[in-house]
Amino acid sequence: MERIILIDGNAIIHRAFHALPPLTNKNGELANAVYGFFSMFLRIIEDFNPQYIVVCFDRPKPTFRKELYVGYQAKRPKISDDLVPQIKFVHEILEKAKIVIFEVDGYEADDLIGTVARQAVEGKLDGGLEVVIVSGDRDMLQLLNHNVKAAMPVVGITNMALMDEEKTEEKYGIKPSQFIDYKALVGDPSDNYPGVSGVGPKTAKMLLQEYKTLENIYKNLNRVASKNPNLAKKLAEGAESAGLAKKLATIVTDAPITLDIHKCSTKYFDIQGIKKAFENIGFKSLIKRLKEGDKKEVINKKKQVIKKDKKEEKRTEENKQLGLL
């Protein structure tokens, strides 16, 4: 099965920036986020051996969610002045490496990843494509299905847990598709929007395990009231807030972008371009990993040739036996 990797650029850059000490390049410029991003980037290629790869980024302009709720992400700290130029560096190196980038005003990277994931799976009519989303953002779990998994950093920037539908339900007690309804009930402090006042994670999971969706919870409000009048009252009073929270939590899968999966092929990955960029910055350890990757590629090609030769020998022998040669 072929595999496409979708990287949440901003999430990984931010994680690297806060996880690593203030490393500088040979020009004395801060480059810890750049180093961390590409350390994870190379690890992903080494571990997953993808046939396609895409990186998605946020844009500085407000998204449609800000129009829905003026307080959306209002309490997030301003991006560090030390991080801004590093985001530009990451862009430049990805472009030199000929990696496809998506970013659109008005949409978050989450929405672009959701859209690319849907288009990638739909584009493979035989279903023979695995999508792996790389992000530390738990919101991405709502996108998981039979074809879509998530590689989520758990320690630092290179140790990752691969989440699928079963592991998600096992860990969180709800299905991936229920994460939107879960956030509708509990809200999201990091994005600064409320859910239903007085409904916490434990209650939200209990409700979703019994009623499955937010809409079905409200359809059965009388039933909830017969068991817990106080909870039913909270739900009734928070209905409008829950509806808004669900809209804010839902990742868009129809953003105005079009995936040309062939352009995302890793066969276009410019190793020399990224090597030169690493040399200019002074990332000696990453250059070494690229060289090791070259060796692996050569070894794999040799193995393929050997396999091909063996197949040809077998085919020739079979043809001889059949009197075709």
> Could you give the number of structural domains in the chain?
2
Cα distances (Å, whole numbers) of residue 126 to 100, 129, 240: 24, 8, 41
Nearest in space to 89 (alpha carbons), one of 150, 27, 44: 27
Does 238 score more than 90 pLDDT?
A: yes
Considering only residues 203 and 312, tell me which one the structure prediction assigns the higher pLDDT. 203
SS (HEC) of 36-66: HHHHHHHHHHHHHCCCEEEEECCCCCCCHHH
Residue ranges making up the domain that contains 29: 2-175+251-299
41 plus 167 within the same structural domain: yes
90 plus 100 within the same structural domain: yes
Query: Residue 51: exposed, middle, or buried by beta-carbon count in 10 A (0-12, 13-18, 19+)?
Result: middle
Considering only residues 77 and 240, tell me which one the structure prediction assigns the higher pLDDT. 240
**pLDDT for residue 75:** 87
Label residue 291 by pLDDT band (50, 70, 90): low
pTM exceeds cut of 0.75? yes
119 plus 192 within the same structural domain: no
**pLDDT for residue 30:** 93
Mean pLDDT of 56-83: 92
Give percent of the chain with pLDDT exceeding 90. Answer: 78
154 plus 255 within the same structural domain: yes
Mean pLDDT of 101-117: 97
191 plus 268 within the same structural domain: no
Lowest mean pLDDT among 126-140, 228-242, 261-275: 126-140
Considering only residues 167 and 291, tell me which one the structure prediction assigns the higher pLDDT. 167
CATH number at residue 222: 1.10.150.20
Is 201 in contact with 186 (CB distance < 8 Å)? yes
12 plus 75 within the same structural domain: yes
- The residue type of 19 is A
Does 56 score more than 70 pLDDT?
A: yes
Q: What is the mean pLDDT of the chain?
A: 88
